[in-house]
Structure 1
Amino acid sequence: MYSELNRASITTLVNEFYTDIRRDRVLQPVFDGAIGANWEPHLERMVDFWCSVMLASGEFKGNVFGKHMQLQGIEMEHFRHWLALFETHVRRLFQPEVADEFLVVARRIAASLQYGYFGRAEAV
């Protein structure tokens, strides 16, 4: 478990989380369809994103909502799976208060995207 939140610990989170995404029966097809073989650039962007969110690094530049709204076939089940897997990883890697911070952000993002897709958010 990491005692410090920094780029190295966030990189570990992103790499381990997306390794599991690539094996997940529900999420793998969605991510493969969106990312294809371009996993390395995606992982780098996700490290930049989480560093920007959690460390206020300002490294990430992009439109998270707009990018996700381009995806087809997204269902509530995808959000449930993504959040459950993300929670497993942050709780395993970080102290409870840091994990809780990650989850507040992740749930807020999920709710925003759910409103975009479905016009409502599911409590998670």
Structure 2
Amino acid sequence: MNTERPATDAPREREPNEANVRALVEAFYRRVDDDPLLGPIFSRALTGRWDEHLAKMTTFWSSLVLGSKQYRGNVQEAHRPIDDIEPRHFARWLSLFLNTVEARYEPAAAVQFMEPALRIAHSLQLSKFGWEYQIPVEQQELLAALKRQRTGGAPEPRFPERPDAEPFPAKFIGTSADEKSR
């Protein structure tokens, strides 16, 4: 992987576009490759495939942030074969990614990357460590703060109050297993 460093005094982007999304992905993965905690994991998974991965990640982030809808893949399945991931790896990945985004984009544009990154990490963490896993409080607070920033500080919509242990109202469509066996 190329280890050339981007200029640190470059102005931050006001809006994402294909070119600066590609530059973000390349800068971020240079940092990942150089990172003592994440580098070995990514190196094992991507040896000989870095270019393919960078192209896929550029397509992925362009799909999310620019709405290009070109990404075809399953995020959960792509990460399933990586066995040696621990919670500290997620924390480090998020830190590197959020810092890279923040250095490259103005705040309003940065949120467009940060919020999905936190949501994806949350989903991957629960998938990897089980539904009982407690997402770190700092990660939850950051996601809430980003959501407030994106929505202009508007309060989050509230669900109707329910007595304790009352199931969330839902209408199920289809045939139950009991009905099928009759």
Higher relative contact order (Cα pairs below 8 Å, separated by 6+ residues)? 1
- Whether 1:50 and 2:50 are equivalent positions in the alignment is no
Which 5+ residue runs of structure 1 have no aligned equivalent? Answer: none
**Identical residues among aligned pairs (%):** 37
Instruction: Please report the TM-score for the alignment, with normalisation by the length of structure 2.
Output: 0.66
Which residue of the partner structure matches residue 82 of structure 2?
71
CA distance in 2, matches of 1:11, 1:87: 16
RMSD of equivalent CA atoms: 0.9
Which 5+ residue runs of structure 2 have no aligned equivalent? Answer: 1-11, 140-182
Task: After TM superposition, give the deviation of residue 101 of structure 1 in Å.
Answer: 2.1
Whether the aligned pair in 2 keeps the contact of 1:17 and 1:85 (CA below 8 Å) is: yes
Equivalent positions of 1:1-124 (< 5 A) are 1-119=12-130, 120-123=133-136, 124=139
> Structure 1 or 2: larger helix share?
1
Residue aligned with 2:78, SS: helix
* Deviation beyond 3 Å, 4+ runs, structure 1: none
CA distance in 1, matches of 2:27, 2:46: 17
Task: After TM superposition, give the deviation of residue 117 of structure 1 in Å.
Answer: 0.8
CA distance in 2, matches of 1:67, 1:46: 12
Greater C-alpha radius of gyration: 2
Q: Per-residue CA shift, 1:79-109, capped at 9, x if unaligned?
A: 0000000011110111101112211100000
Q: Paired residues, what number?
A: 124
Instruction: Please report the TM-score for the alignment, with normalisation by the length of structure 1.
Output: 0.96
Residue aligned with 2:64, SS: helix
